[in-house]
Amino acid sequence: MRYRKNDIFLIPAGPGIVVCGRAVMKLGTNILVAIYMSDAESVDAVDLKALVESPPVFLVETMDLRIRDGSWAMIGNAKPSVEIPIPVYKTQLEFGGDFYVQEIDGTIGKRLTSDEAASLRRQKSYSPAAVEQAVRAFRGLDEWLPQFDEMRFS
């Protein structure tokens, strides 16, 4: 299945739980996804525009496999009035060397000070299964693991 920016899809979390993802940015076969928890009783009751105007619970890079194979079913497209800032990361060009800014597309930027480097994290991509587990854990249906903290939107 093809998808585009701002497409909204369902992420399975459990019976009667509506969790939606929004395609923020395509990254080859990966995707940056904003994940929203809905209080809607059913998929049909989800107000997509209101959903994307609320802050997401997670902002995570993952493979787009579940979207392409239809496991995360599309339910619409909605553009927020204010876009979520795209994360910036840190990277090292050599072991033990200085840290540099890394854009989400891998572009390397300026050298970072120690304080700047301390405030950024390294880029990571999580499996779709890990994303689904994080969603279930957020809803109290699974164990919360420390790596889920890294997926949280802040």
**pLDDT at residue 45, as a whole number:** 87
pLDDT tens-digit map of 117-153: 999 999 999 999 999 999 999 999 999 999 999 999 9
Q: Say how far apart CA 106 and CA 110 lie, in whole Å.
A: 13
129 against 1, higher pLDDT:
129
Question: Per-residue pLDDT for 15 more than 90?
Answer: no
Which of left, alpha, beta for 42 (phi over 0: left; psi -120 to 50: alpha)? beta
Sketch the domain layout of the chain as residue ranges: 7-85+124-151, 88-122
